[in-house]
Amino acid sequence: MIVFFYFLFSPPAGCDPREPSDACDLQIPNYERQFADTKANPFPQNLTPKPIFWENAIDGAFPDAISVPYIYLRDKHGVWLRYNERLSFDYLLGEDMPGEHYLYIEDDFSPSEEVRKKEKFYRHKSWNITLKEGANEIYKQTAHKITRQYIGSFDLHSNPGRTVWFPSSAEQNFEAISRLQIPLEAYDFPPKLNINTEITPQKYGKFRGDSEVLPVDENVYEIKTAQGAQKIRTSNMSKWPVEYKKQKAICGDKFCLFLFTDTDKEHKYCENIGNETAILFLNLERKFTSRSYTNSPLHRTNGYHFGLKEGYEIDDIASFEMIPSEFAEFRKEQQPDKMTYKNVPTGEKFIEYELKIYAKDGALINQYCDHYYMHKPIRELQ
């Protein structure tokens, strides 16, 4: 039995987990071979850095093949800025387009999840990339980026191994495109999004908001911050697990709460809640500030989504409160029948915000998923 488990869990022959190599990867030569003849196009030399605009931008997404901290977009309003931060907003910089800039086009035709499972690779991305200067196409490339599964150690979950590019020159050329991105001189904005991770109950205490901000255009809001008015644009959250079809913005003195409701009754995370609702925070102390759920002041107590009680819709929301509270943590314990679980206290307590959403009639209307949120408030703090 010991010998059996040794061979089952030991690394493949020639694989040293301390120095990963091809021997530590699950290789699929027949699959990779079909991309080996992908034509490598020459990359133009001595390109001058200029602002890069994403010409075929996808709502709520970010370029995948290149790595830039932000990308520029344009529409009837003017020039927008989108940071490479998950669940952020777009920020309107102004109406004036720069005189010289590049246009970037990225068409994604990556294999489906079904193909990934069948072929057993970790990830495969495929793109058609075009870089334009004015009306002229200066670079065009089809590329495949295949990440193999790592098999150098036993793990019930797939881990990434080495990555191979077809053609191999695409990796270097895409990095060269990334280095072309520069700030627009006409506009003042930080190179990285202001995250403001210091939003804590100890610093800000209790706060609320009851002023609805109506969009000035589809998904476009004009928000008054301490540094002046700023137009922001939300998205339909097309990259989220579900598509949120309704949205609303409620603001207070220091923060705005953006709520996005999923109206799909058939595909729900949790059966015990009504319309699932996602949340984003906008800090009004300065411009270019957003808070994704991963570092939200509510990350531990309700992640980024909860539900509205049955009978209530997003249009019924009138106000919110963020209340410093002490929480008790629980864990699920299997019961003797082996079919059911019971929430059992772990003994751990912590302090964080409790979010309360109120309807126009004053009723508390938000509720949380019993399966995901293993805690409950004990008391409100002064």
Q: Are 306 and 273 in contact (CB under 8 A)?
A: yes
Cis before 42? omega within 30: no
DSSP string, 295-341: G-TTHHHHTTEEEEPTT--GGGEEEEEEEEEEEEEEEEEE-TTSS-E
Q: E strands, the chain, where?
A: 25-26, 52-54, 70-75, 78-83, 90-94, 102-108, 123-133, 136-150, 159-166, 207-212, 220-225, 228-233, 246-252, 255-261, 276-283, 305-308, 317-334, 341-359, 366-367, 375-380
Spans of the chain, pLDDT less than 70: 1-11, 14, 17-21, 86-88, 153-158, 195-198, 236-245, 262-274, 290-305, 369-373
Question: Backbone phi, then psi, for 117, in 5-degree steps?
Answer: -65, -40
Q: What tens digit of pLDDT does each residue of 135-187 get? A: 899 999 999 999 988 877 655 456 888 899 999 999 999 999 999 999 998 89
Query: What span, in angstroms and rounded, lies between the C-alpha atoms of 18 and 4?
Result: 23
Both tokens assigned to 82: 């989108």
Stated as kind and residue range, the H or E segment containing 174 is: helix 169-178
Q: What tens digit of pLDDT does each residue of 107-141 get? A: 999 999 898 888 888 899 999 999 999 889 999 99
Question: Backbone phi, then psi, for 23, in 5-degree steps?
Answer: -65, -20
